[in-house]
Amino acid sequence: MGMLKDKVAIVTGASSGIGRAAAMLFGAEGAAIILNARGRPGLEEVADAIRARGGRAHVVAGDVSLPETHDELVADAIRLFGGLDIAFNNAAVVGPIRPLVEVALSEWQETLATNLTSAFLASRSQIPAMLERGSGAIIFTSSFVGTSVGLPGMGVYAAAKAGLMGLVKAITADYASKGIRANALMPGGVDTAMAGDEAQKEWAAGLHAMKRIAQPEELAQAALFLASPMSSFVAGSALFADGGNSAVK
């Protein structure tokens, strides 16, 4: 324990699923956590759980598609804990699941705002604070959807998740020489509310070489690798934690 001792981390989408598991793990490893999601009650439960284990946590409820949310997250990281070292930009929505020509422009814009534009807004707020520290690790939750495979009816989600890899490479080109490491985590199916009902989870399991979907804690471990000194020479990359999904397509 203590892999992130004295570090300060932002985790978005932290009230459930991968974000909650990562926040709990990062806190257990010694980081002070700024927790974000839209709903405050779920965040407060996670914050209480981190504190009960001796960790430090602070809640900022807000919409990641708004620039002021990211400004507040970074400002609170600096004000309360002295700076920012790690950002796990994990919040996302599935968006409409229909053939592309049946998707309304407003649905396209809303899904990209949460899944892709939010990553730009986050980075724009986070990078200056990390430069002040002399280094930083930024992690985005992408997906096998849009990067290794297309799925019927998921064109908007795929476009947004694929776009994150372009952002990762751009941040690397601009800031890796200044100590900022940006990487994308590529989950396969994960046992969260976003995975749907049991029938949908069983179908998703069949896509994976391991013939199962992941638990959120397994993705949190992969995020910890990217956040920690274990990945000190990993920048601009995509880490597939997808049960072999991409390998068998």
pLDDT band at 238, cuts 50/70/90? very high
**What's the mean pLDDT in 169-178?**
98
Neighbours of 145 (CB within 10 A): 23
Per-residue confidence (pLDDT) for residue 248, from 0 to 100 = 87
Token couple for 178: 């200044």
Q: Are strands 32-37 and 56-61 parallel, antiparallel or unpaired?
A: parallel
**What's the mean pLDDT in 230-241?**
97
Q: What tens digit of pLDDT does each residue of 138-172 get?
A: 999 999 999 988 989 999 999 999 999 999 999 99
Q: Is residue 61 part of a domain?
A: yes
Label residue 11 exposed, middle or buried (CB < 10 Å: 0-12, 13-18, 19+): buried
Q: Return the DSSP state at 33.
A: E
For 52, the domain range is 8-248
Per-residue confidence (pLDDT) for residue 194, from 0 to 100 = 74
**85 vs 141: CA distance, rounded Å:** 17
Per-residue confidence (pLDDT) for residue 22, from 0 to 100 = 98
Q: Is residue 3 part of a domain?
A: no
Q: Is residue 104 part of a domain?
A: yes
Q: Which residues are catalytic?
A: 157
The answer to whether 40 and 48 have CB atoms below 8 angstroms apart is no
Q: Is residue 125 part of a domain?
A: yes
The CATH number for 139's domain is: 3.40.50.720
**Structural domain total, the chain:** 1
**What's the mean pLDDT in 80-101?**
97
Q: Is residue 220 part of a domain?
A: yes
**What's the mean pLDDT in 181-210?**
89
